[in-house]
Amino acid sequence: MSKQAFKVLGKPVPPPDSYEKVTGTAPYTFDMELPGMLYAKLVTSTEPHARIKSIDYSKALQVPGVRIVATGKDFPVRIGIYVGDRDMLAIEKALWVGHPVAAVVAESIKAAEKAIDLVEVEYDPLPAVFDVEEALKPDAPLLHPDIANYKISPAFKPVPGTNIANQFRMIKGEGEAGFDKADLVIEKTFKMPFLHHAYMETWNTIAHYKVTGDIEIWTSSQSPYAPRYLMAMSLGVPVGKIKMRIPYVGGGFGGKAGVLIEPLVAMLSKKAGYKPVKLVMSRAEQMRSMPVIAGYKAYAKIGFSKDGKIVAYKVRFLFDTGAFADYTVNVARTAGYACTGVYDMPNVYCESLAIYTNKVPTTAIRGFGYPENHWVLERLMDMAARELRMDPVKIRSINLLRPGDPTSTTGYGSPLRADAGDIQGVLKTSAELIEWDKEPEQPKEPWKIRAKGIAMSLKGPSQPPNAVDAAIVKFNEDASVDILVATGNYGQGTVNALRMIVAEAFDLPLDKVHITWMNSTEWMPYTWQTVGSRSTFTVGQALLRAVEDAKRQIFDIASTVLKVPADQLELADGKVYVKGEPWMSIPLTEIVNGYTFPNGQVLGGPIIGRGIHSPGILSYLDPDTGQALPINPETGHSEPGHATVFYTFGSTAVEVELDLLTGDIKVLKATQVYDIGRLINPLTAKGQAIGGLIMGMSRALYEELIFDDSGGVANPNFSFYYVARAKDIPDDIRIKFLETPQADGPFGARGFSENVMIAVIPAIANAIERATGVSITELPMTHERVWRAIKEQRPDLIEKALKAFQEWKNASQG
């Protein structure tokens, strides 16, 4: 089907929930109240690592309205999606400043807040560790000495007796030995800080553990099925007894994936006499006690031949997971297996460790390991270009992967399918949009300079091989369609894209295709999770199969009525036609609930279509080498599997202005280019590209969680944790989407919403280095950090800038 043939796809369609959101009538968990509801608040640790000797809550129980106080002894279980290392309340010892050690449930929030200040906890302090390299030492204090007894997903390898929550290695070709063939070798150390997800709606949930044993949950999660399963597994409750409901969600960015502390609120509800209990985190509580984004150190070494070809790459990531590694083990693993980015490298050695420290726990984040590995790799590419005196665009171009070429493989050894995307086209278009060959116009202030930088990116969902999805479409009496999918709706626009896919497939007006914004395990068929930019691709396929299933039923009925074979029928404009004879037709309204003959006899019944998606191409990676295992070795097929169901390729280019006297960086122009397979909705796609640019700028220039001497978060608010504001947005943003349809995607589409921030970060640093020769390897690129880097590496630039400023000042005054 050509692009021009689409009736719905490619049109700028606002999300149907926009009006409710902008008018404030959209219902969030925060807004909900249930009859007889109680309120919970948490008592948190003041020690970074300590045994809990006693907890005296007798005074708290005397506060009017307080119903119960619970401690870790009440709920001695651990939860987690990949590593079951998280307690609901501290069990025996506290692991960071902010670790919940007790919970108060009261008839009002005020009573609960008053009571938590009266809970007295006696600690026996233990040695603490706040640095990943210190945590790796043999004599380091152990946070999880019993990790060997935790529930661990098969893809992960903790190292018992250490603070290593997961160890991943990938070896391709000759590994480190490949450096013997290099003409140029660059070694650098890189750092990224801990970050906060900065979603608008802080985490909150309501749980009602009923006397029947059923558990009803309303929560601000990204999707319902993962937290339900993890709750059931940790609490020993049958899965079917848990009803997980998700209304509108005010942002997630990975921070609301998996399970958070829904199980705790459920158990508090039971302990409080089977009353509904609500727990809402303040922003400060969110940043001190709930999972944030892991920081890391990376030690990288890359080798090139004289002609700019990569010959070897070695990188070691040390991810600081904080006290719990639950989800971060997979972030670290993903950063490892995708460490080669968009480049074809013959020899690779990568090690990625997830390491416990006595800091706030961490979890998933938008990009999921790809911003981390691209910060390293894309910076090294520019450093090599400078050393080899090559253009940064050219050095990238000659090293890019070649889709469809079996000799060009990812780091884990799998080639890319031929329709994976136009990588060269993405790079070329990005350079053209930023006018790469044209020198930027320099500012009037002579102590400022402008320069351009570019970076590439790729992103694919990091999911297990058994991550399956189901979808249902059902017709109403007026031949409108209801879509039932468990895809989360938290601002990314996916559910609207799914609605457009179904409208296109049925050839129905978009206003006749409906999707509910309340997600629930009771009503929606199974979906693994809404993460990784996967849902448009995977759930979209399931929906198209559901459409085909419904069409088969419709054609079976119409075939009997019209007395022609089903393969001679087509569906369009709300009718079933005989091909070539459009006057022979039946309105869908006469079929979707069963066709009624003149004598009253009914043929068929309500039309309900069912579809599934199973990622059959995925396989585990070899635990020793990180290379992809064969998909079906038992059938004699030895071709390697894949670590992801698709890759989306992108590039960001920027023009920045640097104040040499202050270190201030301002992004003036930016380009965002992505090959997304098929452009479903240009309105939301553009919104994602702009939003991702701003988020990437924010991470590059401003965002950082700061820790005090006790390892506690010292800036738990938006006054001291700066995120990009409207004034920071570039005036000139240029966006382009390429379309290389992927045959197994819905109408050829791939997801891309995470990719949009990945290359932004290194592109800005590349621009700075291109202008000054100053290498920045630590984030964020704050004024002070940039100025110090210039002072250390190029003090002459500051001297020249000071002289220029003084001359300008004298001239302006004279």
Question: Residue 631: is its pLDDT beyond 80?
Answer: no
Global pTM reads 0.96
Q: Which amino acid, residue 321?
A: T
Over residues 590-610, mean pLDDT: 95
State the Cα–Cα distance between residues 800 and 273, nearest whole angstrom: 73
Question: Residue 2: is its pLDDT beyond 50?
Answer: no
Domains 32-126+203-280 and 295-463+641-799 share a fold: no
Question: Residue 4: is its pLDDT beyond 60?
Answer: no
Question: Residue 634: is its pLDDT beyond 70?
Answer: no
Domain residue extents for the chain: 32-126+203-280, 295-463+641-799, 468-613
State the Cα–Cα distance between residues 721 and 68, nearest whole angstrom: 35
State the Cα–Cα distance between residues 14 and 76, nearest whole angstrom: 47
CATH code 3.30.365.10 for 468-613: yes
DSSP code for 288:
H
Over residues 206-212, mean pLDDT: 97
Place of tokens 């809550």: 57
Question: Residue 616: is its pLDDT beyond 90?
Answer: no
DSSP code for 177:
G
| Backbone conformation region of residue 71, classed left if phi is above 0, alpha if psi is from -120 to 50, else beta | beta
- Give 12-50 pLDDT, tens digit per residue: 999 888 888 889 999 999 999 999 999 999 999 999 999
Of 229, 715, 682, 737, which is closest to residue 486 (Cα–Cα)? 229
CATH class of 32-126+203-280: alpha beta
First-to-final CA distance of the chain: 69
State the Cα–Cα distance between residues 246 and 611, nearest whole angstrom: 23
- Phi and psi at residue 519, to the nearest 5°: -95, 145
For position 1, what pLDDT does the model report?
A: 40
For position 690, what pLDDT does the model report?
A: 97
CA dihedral in degrees (430, 434, 435, 437; nearest 10)?
Answer: -70
CATH architecture designation of domain 295-463+641-799:
2-Layer Sandwich (3.30)
Over residues 577-586, mean pLDDT: 93
Q: Are 734 and 672 in contact (CB under 8 A)?
A: yes
Beta strands 648-659 and 277-280: pairing type?
unpaired
Task: Tell me the DSSP string of 635-677.
Answer: GTEEEE-BSSS--EEEEEEEEEEEETTT--EEEEEEEEEEE-S
- Give 407-458 pLDDT, tens digit per residue: 999 999 999 999 999 999 999 999 999 999 999 999 999 999 999 999 999 9
Q: At what angle do helices 760-772 and 370-388 cross, to 10 degrees?
A: 20
- Give 105-137 pLDDT, tens digit per residue: 999 999 999 999 999 999 999 999 999 999 999
